[in-house]
Chains A and B, each alone.
Chain A
Amino acid sequence: MDIVLEMQGVCKTFYGDGVIVKANDQVNFNLKKGEIHALLGENGAGKSTLVGTLFRKPDSGIIRLNGKEVELNDPITALNYGLGIARQDLTKSLIERHTIAENILSISKGFFLSLTEIENEIIKVLNMYDLGELDPKVRIWKLSGGEKQRVEILKALISDPDILILDEPTSMLTPTEIDNLFKLLNKLKARGKSIILISHHLEEAVNYSDRITILRQGKVVDTIDTHKAKENWKSEEEGIRAIANLMVGRESLYDLYREPLKPVNVAIEIKGINAKNEMGDEVVRGVGLKLMDNQIVGLAGISGNGQAELVEAMLNLRKADSGEVWIRGMNITNKSIRAIKNLGVAYVPEVRRKALILDLSVRENLLLNSYQYSPTPMIENDNNALITEELIDRFNIKTPSPLVPVRTLSGGNRQKVVVAREFSVIPPDGAGLILIVENPTFGLDVGTTQFVREELLKMRAAGAAILLVSSDLTEILTLSDVISVMYKGRIMGTVDSEDATRENIGLLMGGVELEEVFS
């Protein structure tokens, strides 16, 4: 097969916050005509940076397209050479206030803008590739996360590129939509297009790619032929594990053991909660949940189906229009967040900015919960230093000193700071901790992910009642005792973990009724 894209000795360095990051270090990569080439690696391994150098030239290195050396200085040159990209960060890619048609500029020509022409083209491409229904006249802010992701893919496809780059295209799609996407990719492949796929879902790479290149700390670890490798792997799991080990560089994934525990006490119960989002739309509709000590309840669902609003309504960070929240037999509806947290409630929000003050030190961030318990108005530094050292040690936070600002830490270590603070909350009167965690491993590397999950299981064994809100199905399935699935603001069904499979939870996440799934 011909090589359409060849990258040789690509280097890219970022300077910032006093650290120098070699995001790409002498990377060699090639793409054959008509293949799906998966690019894998942990967060910060340099995947997005590598494809980014195709749209902004690298610090050094050679890029050849069809054997000819080219200089791709800016996105427009790359577009003209037939490269299309669907980016990961949609906030930097889509304009919320504009319609879908207005977002797609690459095919508009001339002085006058014929939106009708673009709209027709959009519908043509949607039909051609079976991308599903999208109304070109709808504004982006009205779309769900999955729909936005489809718009981004459409934007890349519409200029009919020879090389299509998809950066985490499936993070907000339902399992059915993911299936459709890969059918589409196979169709493109058959038409001679070449595809670079970046994903952190390793099973997608194992199942659909032709070759896999693995990056670690900016360097290429290995490029493997998926079809050949599959003959050696006994199962999908073994393949995933082999790749994960290459990504991390050591044996990293081992099975988490969830010891059987019998939950007795009801820790928190919510009844018929309704809540609105900022737009004033009702996004939580009559949700009821029950959480017991020694139990992890997984709240599954594609992000944006009301999970965030539900948690906020539970903690009175958002007004609940109706419904009640009971903690250990006490009605805490509309009590202040302080009063709720004093009952032994800990909260790890998905958005880390909401949990950390980036310019304060690691120590100050670790103590945010405890200042109010200080007996004097003064800060007791000796005692604080002791507590902090202990937490840094126990949660293995990598920081040069407890006094450096949290801003200087990596994403994984920032999350460890939050986890350390919240997991060490001590509930009153020896009661079990109530722990609410939202996508606790989002954006973390394999090692930290494993660490956080282990800690969750340890907390469970220690008697905590845990609500795990996650859009990562693997995480939900490995950790939860009971799984509730949320779709468009309501609970589609609650399934015991023994009965739950990737398939049936996936269907519920896509809005299929419980009776149909289990019939």
Chain B
Amino acid sequence: MAEIINPVLGQSIVAAATFFLIPTLGEIYTERSGILNLGIEGMIIASAAGSYAITFLTQNLWVGIIFGIFLGGILATIHAVITITFNRNQIVSGIGLTIFGTGLSGFLGRDVIGKAVNGLDKIELPILYDLPVIGPIFFNHTILVYLSYILVPVLWFILYKTRVGILIRTVGENPSAAFNQGVNVRLIRYLCTIFGGMCAGLGGAYLSLSWLNFWSEGMTNGKGWIVIALVVVSLWNPLGALFGSYLFGSFDVLQFSFQQIGIDTSILKMMPYLSTMTFLALWAIILSQQKVKSIVGAPTALATPFED
């Protein structure tokens, strides 16, 4: 425990967790509307390269970040057209998107490999930073991390306490029922999918411009896939995403602490993925209970096309 309270370590956990958190929040909305987007990895990595390259060109961080969000949104729109307008297989389309995004990242980032760009600066929040223990861990970060703090409650509130939120949940649970009550199912699915893509894009920009502040090919190491698992672990709830992301962020960072004990690094590198599988197995056991299933679990209409 002492190690986690160590401010430097704590800070890097928060930084790593934010990378998981932002795309997970977006994918939660996408899946809540009934669309499974397996293209997260592709959108993250393409946006990471794109936003880095644009920042390098324009020397303006915000133009780069906005480009990253925009690119994620565009890529998600491709998925939306294929799966919502044309009712095609969501899994195939999503995987295709990941392959495409990975290729696109190589193209967008080919001229900026190893080039330095000034990333986002850390901001010490006044008053909050002076809090004992948690101050230095949580309140000495870039603005994107603070944004993620705000996004969690806001997105939770929208999903559970507003009209838009219940429409999204209805569409994901039973699109026919929603349609029969006059809801524009396709529009809501489009918006949610594009929102999910924008979040993934922001996650990519965060990776290359805030967290790690460089670009190298394949730098996500497939971590985008963990987001898909995180949505399950978070039980499709933004608050759960907070829990899951920080848990997986910890695994990501703590692997380096184990190095000191003398465990081989190649084994440690498996840690995040191994823990992902362990959690999914655990969740699968819990969620397969009929009684649990009727309260929480995957949106009923997830990955099924809506044909009216």
Contact = CB atoms under 8 A, between A and B. Distances in A.
A400 B169 CA distance: 45
A92 B174 contact: yes
Interface in A82-116: 85, 87, 91-98, 102-103, 105-106, 108-113
Nearest to A75: B182
List 6 A-B pairs, minimum CB-CB distance, nearest first. Answer: A76-B182, A92-B176, A278-B290, A141-B294, A95-B173, A113-B163
A74 interface: yes
Interface of A is mostly: loop
Residue with the greatest number of chain B CB neighbours at <10 A, chosen from A85, A93, A109: A93
A55 interface: yes
Chain B contact patch, size range:
20 to 34
B163 A108 contact: yes
B170 interface: yes
Interface string A103-131: 10110111111000000000000000000
A375 interface: no
Contacts of A79: 181-182
B179 interface: yes
Given A97-B173, A105-B166, A280 B182 contact: no
Contacts of B300: 95-97
B219 interface: no
Contacts of B179: 74-75
Contact of B290 (A75, A85, A280): A280
Residue with the greatest number of chain A CB neighbours at <10 A, chosen from B161, B167, B180: B180
A74 B181 CA distance: 10
Given A76-B182, A97-B300, A105-B170, A280 B291 contact: yes
A106 B290 contact: no
A121 to B, nearest CB: 15
Given A74-B182, A98-B169, A279-B290, A93 B177 contact: yes
Interface of B: 161-167, 169-170, 173-174, 176-183, 290-291, 294-295, 300, 308
A94 B176 CA distance: 9
Nearest to B172: A95
26 contacts: A55-B180, A56-B308, A75-B180, A75-B181, A79-B181, A79-B182, A92-B177, A93-B174, A93-B177, A93-B180, A94-B177, A96-B173, A96-B174, A96-B294, A96-B300, A98-B166, A102-B170, A105-B170, A105-B182, A106-B181, A109-B163, A110-B163, A113-B166, A155-B181, A279-B291, A280-B291
A108 B164 CA distance: 10
A94 B290 contact: no
A87 B294 contact: no
Contacts of A111: 162-164
Contacts of A55: 180
A141 B300 CA distance: 13
A94 B174 CA distance: 8
A108 B177 contact: no
B274 to A, nearest CB: 32
Nearest to A112: B162
Given A95-B173, A280-B290, 10 more contacts: A75-B179, A79-B181, A93-B174, A97-B294, A97-B295, A98-B170, A103-B177, A105-B167, A112-B162, A280-B291
